[in-house]
Amino acid sequence: MLPIPGSGPRFFKEMDKEIVEKIQEQYYKSELPKIHKLLQEFKQEMGQTGRAMRINYLDEQIQTVNHNLLRCHTSCTDNTLSKETKEFATQSIALLTEERIKLKKEKKMVLSFKGHASRNQVTPDMIAQAKLYPVESLLPQNKKGFLPCIFHSEKTASMKINKYKNFAYCHGCHESADSIKIFMHLNNVSFLDAVRNLQ
């Protein structure tokens, strides 16, 4: 039996590689939006749960302080206790009152916190979200995934996009970049502006 032209271990290895890449690309395109949605839901749920747990803890602490304050006030009016005990109770009242004010301020702050960054800052969640922004949607590429490098001038496309790790790497100047760095370079904006725009 004559061998089929273009067959052999190397031919099948290349075929397998192409098939695996196509399957990975299809999976990436179909599953990434679902992963983004689940991640957002998880972050929102964890934020609300953590906030509720902190409020419950603060309520318990305030209740404990109130209970101790009541005991101290009772001790101050009790004629059967010694002078030293009454003085200690009076000092404790001042400390406990201060502690209660701090706890109430913290509770008020936790209740008012919505998880948004101020105008001049970004949260770690925002940075992580921006890094997940698909690099291939920022850069035009040929069928093989190559494009001219954005960091240096060249005639032959030497920058390759890795869709699965979500970054671009130039084989000419050896510069690598994630979605934030690419957006900053293409639009000539700051890190903060890039992160905000990639949400």
Q: What is the pLDDT of residues 58-81, one digit of tens each?
A: 888 888 888 888 888 888 888 888
Average pLDDT, the chain: 77
Query: Quick one: DSSP state of residue 161?
Result: E
Share of the chain above pLDDT 90, in %: 2
Query: What are the structural domains of the chain?
Result: 9-112 (no CATH), 124-197 (3.90.580.10)
- The strand order across the sheet containing 159-162 reads 146-147, 159-162, 167-170, 176-177
* pLDDT at site 54: 77
In the predicted structure, residue 9 carries a pLDDT above the cut 70: no
- Tokens 């990434």 belong to which residue? 32
- What letter represents residue 34's amino acid? K
Distance between CA atoms of residues 63 and 115, nearest Å: 27
Can you spell out the DSSP letters for 23-37? HHHHHHHHHHHHHHH
Distance between CA atoms of residues 47 and 163, nearest Å: 30
Evaluate if pTM is beyond 0.75. Answer: no
